[in-house]
Structure 1
């Protein structure tokens, strides 16, 4: 092992956090000269320059950025292993980095996360919200919540719930424009489309009696933020196609009305993704279990629900 002093690693992480050797030194009770010498020693052991220095700030090099991320995880795993030696039933502590879709996070997950943190005050949650998929193998993410079918054999997927997207609109919109009775009627309506990974998803598919109908919808609003599409629908700007899990509160309150009774869409499963090749801290496993138990009944209205089962994704 090239690294001779673990304190040097902790110093490097503090420098990255503070953007300053002097500030990192003060945080660790060192002199700036001692900290600068320790950083120089560490870079010499690694044979790599970890930081670019300027008169204004200190920032990681590309190589340093990757190394620092791995070292942060390594130290967290050491803390977790030490905690497990104390007791498998010891209080959970440490950070959990969670990534989740925007509307799911705001409409469903926030109270579940509040409850988890109230039960485990030693856990620090970092929540990344967005509809662009986060990579649990390379990004600074411990677990990612994701809709849709998955096909990465390097991941473990915990199935949380079954969902099907629903076409829906506000009562005000339907009063002004009429209620579609058939998928093809959507061609006469303003449909709110979404963008994922740079692609526009404007082909909506519906099934009844084993027969599928495809409709290439159009509208004057499109977004890569699913929560914004729901807000537009609630405001009466058009028809949205959204997971019924995200729509629960609006449907119960009557802000949105489900459309096309008798027609259904393809399943849209919800998973928690974890890296299969990496040790998963107990606090992360506990959070996934908490979410699985809370979400397992949401998809019960749809046949074939397998919420709560764990699967290894095929290659």
Structure 2
């Protein structure tokens, strides 16, 4: 069994992406009849049905899903090889699909992406900004940048930065409400919680070490008056004096330096919150994606 025409695989990918043969044909700039014939030829060569037609669209069969993953990786590898032959190994080109948190994107990643694209004019970047956890396979992402501990063993992770979360608010908030005396005192304050992995994050972790003593660990269940699934909006609420939020030190780095936000508990450490670059474990990693990750790691290291 073999596939005789690589263009048939391109029809498979376009049809899965678009949901219909006519839309796939428009994307590939061929006729719908040609697209249908190429898909039928592929199914005949494989001896398997790849799509089931519903009333509105085509849906992949289990065999189609399996082949789709391999076809995508094979075409990515082919594209990378053609690119390197065409422009030489010192030049990068192609498209990079990235997902990243909102606050981190706004304060750090967007200008760094601009720098990277100036260095590599033939590279384009599509950025998906969300604090929700994207599925790299389902959403066809090349790279995801995520905070926190890792649970998905199907991904390859590279540490970009060691950071922590900090309970913080604006000077105006503390002028009105005072500072919490210790972590437990947060329960009487106006708190702003984030939604992490689809749930409100209301359990805030703190650690303190006194001279020669064992670290004291405290977990506090806050009662947030405001909660949001976008870290940038929680950040804005804190800057506007609306309450205390529990943010990554990277996200509030500049505001802490310029006094726009202040730590609520300066004698306590917040929860470790490492930042990773993640790739699908079973997918070829193009040179442009590896180069972007190297560049981001250098930029984050420079913040220290």
For this structure pair, what is the TM-score category when the shorter chain's length is used for normalisation? 0.7 to 0.9
Instruction: Please say which of residues 208-217 and 147-156 is displaced more in the overlay.
Output: 147-156
2:92 is aligned with 1:92: yes
TM-score by length of 2: 0.85
Alignment-derived partner of residue 261 in structure 2: 256
Match of 2:247 among 228, 242, 261: 242
2:52 is aligned with 1:48: no
Deviations 1:193-225 (A, max 9, x none): 122223332121222222122221112112222
Q: How far 1:79 sits from its partner (Å)?
A: 1.1
Alignment-derived partner of residue 150 in structure 1: 150
Deviations 1:238-261 (A, max 9, x none): 100101100123334443222211
Alignment-derived partner of residue 60 in structure 2: 61
Instruction: Please say which of residues 181-190 and 29-38 is displaced more in the overlay.
Output: 29-38
Looking at structure 2, the residues matched to 225 and 26 of structure 1 have their Cα atoms a distance apart, in angstroms, of 36
Looking at structure 2, the residues matched to 181 and 207 of structure 1 have their Cα atoms a distance apart, in angstroms, of 14
Instruction: Please say which of residues 107-116 and 228-237 is displaced more in the overlay.
Output: 228-237
SS of equivalent residue, structure 1 residue 296: helix
Structure 2 CA distance for partners of 1:14 and 1:138, relative to 1, 3 Å: closer
Looking at structure 1, the residues matched to 138 and 19 of structure 2 have their Cα atoms a distance apart, in angstroms, of 23
Q: How far 1:191 sits from its partner (Å)?
A: 1.0
2:115 is aligned with 1:110: no
Structure 2 residues not aligned, in runs of 5+: 210-214
Count of aligned pairs between the two proteins: 297
Alignment-derived partner of residue 126 in structure 1: 126
Q: Please list, as runs of the form range in 1=range in 2, the aligned pairs for 1:144-293 lying within 5 A after superposition.
A: 144-209=144-209, 210-293=215-298
Looking at structure 2, the residues matched to 190 and 145 of structure 1 have their Cα atoms a distance apart, in angstroms, of 30
Deviations 1:136-186 (A, max 9, x none): 455412222111222555433221111111111122222221222322221
Deviations 1:48-77 (A, max 9, x none): 1426365xx644435446644543332121
Looking at structure 2, the residues matched to 130 and 86 of structure 1 have their Cα atoms a distance apart, in angstroms, of 35
Structure 2 CA distance for partners of 1:145 and 1:29, relative to 1, 3 Å: closer
Looking at structure 1, the residues matched to 163 and 45 of structure 2 have their Cα atoms a distance apart, in angstroms, of 52
Structure 2 CA distance for partners of 1:25 and 1:97, relative to 1, 3 Å: closer
SS of equivalent residue, structure 1 residue 289: helix
Alignment-derived partner of residue 212 in structure 2: none
Looking at structure 2, the residues matched to 251 and 60 of structure 1 have their Cα atoms a distance apart, in angstroms, of 51
2:167 touches 2:270 (CA, 8 Å); kept in 1? no
1:187 touches 1:216 (CA, 8 Å); kept in 2? yes
Looking at structure 2, the residues matched to 132 and 247 of structure 1 have their Cα atoms a distance apart, in angstroms, of 20
1:136 touches 1:274 (CA, 8 Å); kept in 2? yes
SS of equivalent residue, structure 2 residue 270: coil
Structure 2 CA distance for partners of 1:241 and 1:77, relative to 1, 3 Å: same
Looking at structure 1, the residues matched to 243 and 156 of structure 2 have their Cα atoms a distance apart, in angstroms, of 37
1:43 touches 1:50 (CA, 8 Å); kept in 2? no
1:168 touches 1:241 (CA, 8 Å); kept in 2? yes
Q: How far 1:90 sits from its partner (Å)?
A: 3.6
Looking at structure 2, the residues matched to 235 and 62 of structure 1 have their Cα atoms a distance apart, in angstroms, of 51
Looking at structure 2, the residues matched to 206 and 26 of structure 1 have their Cα atoms a distance apart, in angstroms, of 55
Alignment-derived partner of residue 7 in structure 2: 7
